[in-house]
Amino acid sequence: METPALLVEGLTKTYRPGDRPAVDGLSFTMPLGQTWGLLGGNGAGKSTTIAMLLGLLVPSAGRVVALGHDMATDRFAALARMNFSSPYIALPHRLTVEENLRVYAHLYSVPDMKHRIAELLEHFALTEFARRPAGQLSAGQKTRVALAKALINKPALLLLDEPTASLDPDTGDWVRSALERYRADSGAAMLLASHNMAEVERLCSHVLMLKGGSVVDAGSPDDLLQRYGRDDLEEVFLDIARGRARESVA
Amino acid sequence: MTGSAARRIWGLMYRHLALYRRSWPRVLELMYWPVLQMVVWGFITAYLAGVQGNTASVAAGVLLGGVLLWEVTLRSQMGFAISFLEEVWSRNLGHLFVSPLRPWELVAGLAAMSVLRTVAAVLPAMVLAFFLYGFGVWTLGPVLVLFVAALMAMGWAVALAVTALILRHGAGAEALAWGVMFGIAPFAAVFYPVAILPGWLQPVALTIPAAHVFEGMRAALTHGVTAWDHLAWAFVLDIVWLAVAAWIFLAQFHQARVRGALLNIGE
């Protein structure tokens, strides 16, 4: 049986004793080669979940096995084959685009660094900005640099936190196409936390609906639409966020 | 150390060196304070030389040697802690800590940057001290290398503890990166022997590695002898300080992972 990209068992995080868990008993197995979505309102536990999957946050209970490596005991072996992108975490803004990519090429021990960086600059239409400080780029250009950094090591598992937040529709569409191409070419797994339902419908083959730190529903976008009798995921999201049971909706 | 580990450490260094490569004000800022200190203390020693007659040359050497070697400690600590703060200010820690960079590699990269920053900061002041005041710190002989190594190790220990406090309290603790060594200086016997301190304070001073280095420096400059006992104590204390600081750092790093502070430490 193929090693899953992510095996998550009973993942729980309580920040302070006595508080309600931010994530409560999350379990799922995500295979390689698929894009999954993590949906939920503000405070649903998406960011906490992603931080635990990346090893940035120690779970209160449960475990994460990424690409066959237990994140509690062997996280660096997994991290070398993973990557992450979020518009909320900056890259050093005084370094040029190329310098930023060089730094991360070294950190991920990327072979043939020059070629890989040139490839990514071209792929993300960044060649003309290669020598410009990252802080002087537009929001769309910064997002492309962040994605280039996230793909520098050709990750087998890519975690994305709202990858198209604050982008105009054209740039957002361009980024989604780039992600689709990467998954198709590499066979990598991608987990996407997003508030953009159209994006999730387009990219994801499976969706985990989070509310109050727990998975309240899961399935393919088509399954969820059918189950809730809705035309788009946004309506399904609202049904779940507002506590409307699927039976009463149907 | 594996090739991959060396490459990750170099990646972290490259990130900082790239900043200096394009910014001469940053390089100038490194040299500015040590050179300024040297000039001010040089004039003070020149004044004392006029007042005290034939003892002045030794006194001048002791004071200028103290200034230069204390700058090594100070710049070593600041070079480490401020390189870490650069990551905090640029809100880059999240990216670093989801890469395969191990905590000890982060520490090694920061220590390597501290060496380069210290050399860039203190070397011009040393050269200036020779040309302006005729004081060559190298007259201490080969033991100078050991003095510098012991002082740099103390700087790293303090910087590790400061970095741990930044992990615990966020950027609010950054003032410590600039000021903590100034609080230690009075007890480190930089410009005067430990014996000058009040009796109850002397045992405290002797727990500071730098106090032993400066006792050794004075022995070398005034009597031309190498105080091996003080040097040995300096290194033993360095090991203790580094071990304690590493323990604090690792504990706070783990706590930051428990509290989820690594993603928003720049806030």
Residues 6+ apart with CB under 8 A from B126: B68, B136, B137, B138
Q: Pick from B36, B260, B53, B183: which is nearest to A57 by CA?
A: B260
Instruction: Report the distance separating Cα A148 and Cα A151, nearest Å.
Output: 5
Specify if B186 maps to a domain.
Answer: yes
Give Cα A51 to chain centroid, integer Å: 10
**DSSP structural state of residue B28:** H
* Number of structural domains chain B divides into: 1
So what's the pLDDT on residue A242? 79
Nearest to A95 among B15, B98, B99 (CB): B15
Is residue A238 scored above 90 in pLDDT?
no
Question: What's the token pair of residue A68?
Answer: 């066959």
Instruction: Report the distance separating Cα A63 and Cα A12, nearest Å.
Output: 9
Instruction: Report the distance separating Cα A165 and Cα A140, nearest Å.
Output: 10
Specify if B161 maps to a domain.
Answer: yes
In this structure, which topology does domain A1-81+157-167+187-250 adopt according to CATH? Rossmann fold (3.40.50)
What's the pLDDT tens digit per position in B40-74?
988 888 887 776 554 456 677 888 899 999 999 99
Average pLDDT of chain B to the nearest whole number: 90
B4: which chain A residues are within 8 Å (Cβ-Cβ)?
109
The crossing angle, in degrees rounded to 10, of helices B143-169 and B175-184 is 130
Instruction: Report the distance separating Cα B6 and Cα B146, nearest Å.
Output: 25
Tell me the mean pLDDT in the region B8-15. 96
> How far does chain A reach from its first CA to its final CA, in angstroms?
38
B94–A56 C-beta distance less than 8 A: yes
Integer-rounded Cα Rg, in Å, for chain B is 19
Question: What's the token pair of residue A132?
Answer: 């410009």
Q: Are the CB atoms for B169 and B73 separated by under 8 Å? A: no
- Residue A111, judged by CB atoms within 10 A of its CB (0-12, 13-18, 19+), counts as exposed
A90–B15 C-beta distance less than 8 A: no
- Does any CB of chain B come closer than 8 Å to the CB of residue A51? yes
Tell me which residues of chain B, numbers 168 to 207, contact chain A at a CB-CB cutoff of 8 Å: none
Per the DSSP assignment, residues forming a β-bridge with A161 are A193
What's the pLDDT tens digit per position in B207-258?
999 999 999 999 998 888 889 999 999 999 999 999 999 999 999 999 999 9
So what's the pLDDT on residue A227? 86
Sequence-ordered alpha helix ranges (H) in B53-142: 56-89, 93-97, 103-133
Per the DSSP assignment, residues forming a β-bridge with A207 are A37, A219
Distance between B129 CA and the closest CA of chain A, angstroms:
35
Host H or E run for residue A50: helix A46-53
Average pLDDT of chain A to the nearest whole number: 91
Residues 6+ apart with CB under 8 A from A86: A146, A160, A161, A162, A163, B94
So what's the pLDDT on residue B45? 83
- Does any CB of chain B come closer than 8 Å to the CB of residue A80? yes
Specify if B30 maps to a domain.
Answer: yes
**DSSP structural state of residue A133:** B
Q: Are the CB atoms for A46 and A31 separated by under 8 Å? A: no
| Token pair 């410590």: residue | B176
Dihedral Cα B256, B257, B262, B267, nearest 10 deg: -50
| Token pair 């049986």: residue | A1
- Integer angstrom CA distances of residue B141 from B125, B144, B210, B224: 18, 6, 18, 10
Instruction: Report the distance separating Cα A212 and Cα A23, nearest Å.
Output: 7
So what's the pLDDT on residue A250? 45
What predicted TM-score, i.e. pTM, was given to this entire model?
Answer: 0.90
Q: Where are the beta strands (DSSP E) in chain B?
A: none
Q: Pick from B117, B156, B167: which is nearest to B246 by CA?
A: B156
In terms of CA atoms, which chain B residue is nearest residue A77? B100
Q: Are the CB atoms for A80 and A109 separated by under 8 Å? A: yes
Q: Which amino acid is at B202?
A: Q
Q: Pick from A242, A203, A240, A212: which is nearest to A225 by CA?
A: A240
- Integer angstrom CA distances of residue B15 from A19, A100, B21, B124, B159: 40, 7, 10, 24, 19
- Integer angstrom CA distances of residue B119 from A92, B34, B207: 25, 11, 26
So what's the pLDDT on residue B138? 87
Nearest to A107 among B11, B86, B260 (CB): B11
Residues 6+ apart with CB under 8 A from A235: A228
So what's the pLDDT on residue B43? 86
Question: What's the token pair of residue A108?
Answer: 């991920």
Q: Where are the beta strands (DSSP E) in chain A?
A: 6-13, 23-30, 35-39, 61-66, 69-70, 82-85, 157-161, 189-193, 206-211, 214-219
What's the pLDDT tens digit per position in A138-156?
888 898 999 999 999 999 9
Instruction: Report the distance separating Cα A193 and Cα A37, nearest Å.
Output: 6
So what's the pLDDT on residue B57? 64
Question: What's the token pair of residue B39?
Answer: 């000039």
In terms of CA atoms, which chain B residue is nearest residue A153? B99
Which structural domain, as residue segments, surrounds residue B123? 3-259
Nearest to B92 among A57, A92, A96 (CB): A92
Angle at B27 between CA B25 and CA B29, to 5 degrees: 65
Mutation target for A interface from B10, B17, B19, B99: give the one with most A CBs within 10 A: B99
**DSSP structural state of residue A20:** P
Q: Are the CB atoms for A143 and A108 separated by under 8 Å? A: no
A86: which chain B residues are within 8 Å (Cβ-Cβ)?
94
| Token pair 């994140």: residue | A71
Is residue B203 scored above 80 in pLDDT?
yes
Q: Which residues of B125-134 are buried (b: 16+ CB within 10 A; e: fewer)?
A: bbebbeeebe
Residue extents of the structural domains in chain A: 1-81+157-167+187-250, 88-154
Residue B266 confidence class, pLDDT cut points 50, 70, 90: low
Tell me which residues of chain A, numbers 21 to 50, contact chain B at a CB-CB cutoff of 8 Å: 47-48
Which pairing describes strands A23-30 and A6-13: parallel, antiparallel, or unpaired?
A: antiparallel
Question: What's the token pair of residue B205?
Answer: 């001073």
- Does any CB of chain A come closer than 8 Å to the CB of residue B5? no
Specify if B151 maps to a domain.
Answer: yes
